[in-house]
Amino acid sequence: MRLVNRVLLATENRNKFDEFKALFHAFPEVNLLMANEILRNTDGLKFVERYDTYLENALAKARLVNQGAHYPSLADDSGLEVEGLGGKPGVRSHRYATPKAGLSQDEANVQLMLKELTGKPRNAKFVCTLALLVEGILVHATGTLDGTIAEAPRGTHGFGYDSIFIPNGSNKTLAEMTSAEKNAISHRNKALQLLMLQVRQHEITFAKP
């Protein structure tokens, strides 16, 4: 297997990249890069998330970047599943609400969720599925974080639904936590730990050529 320590993260979301970059501090043999640091055009990532499962969406993004750059490619698909909404928004978490003037997509999503949850169960879980393509080998893993949805947004850190998600065992939303506190328990961290176990089991080696 060709030795390389560069892994391209198939995302255009800088917040997500920064979070993964911090998580990869536990794996210093990997040099994580955003896909657009190698590829000139990553617009296709906006259009491949059209499937009904996290794994299919993650794999589609990883394949797109891997085919364009021929480096190991890592992609995630994450979502928030809420009991009172029948498990929605799930794989469509990022595109849950119709964008509104004056609101970011994240703000519109949070606003809609709080409105639709009135009088309904607020138990929820974050889900993250990771897919890694290396030299034709696919490894994947899923991590979850259980919690509840707050009555109103709290905190200024994080992104997405962090301001309304309270992990079980905590009285803080993810947006009220430091990055270190969030990363220690996050669904992305759990998925990454499981993924890297599989990397070792497949004897995939990351090293400078």
CB atoms within 10 A of CB 125: 19
Helices (H), 70-153: 105-116
Q: Give catalytic residues, as residue numbers.
A: 77
Beta strand pairing call for 165-167 and 31-34: unpaired
**Distance between CA 190 and CA 8 in Å, rounded?**
20
How far is the C-alpha of 182 from the C-alpha of 157, rounded, in Å?
10
Which of these, 161, 156, 166, 84, lies nearest to 120 by C-alpha position? 84
3 state SS of 165: strand
Distances (CA, A) of 21 to 26, 130, 186: 10, 14, 14
Main-chain dihedrals φ then ψ at residue 32, nearest 5 degrees: -85, 130
CB 128 within 8 A of CB 142: yes
Q: Is 131 within 8 Å of 140 (Cβ atoms)? A: yes
Q: Which of 28, 57, 61, 58 is nearest to 44 (CA)?
A: 61
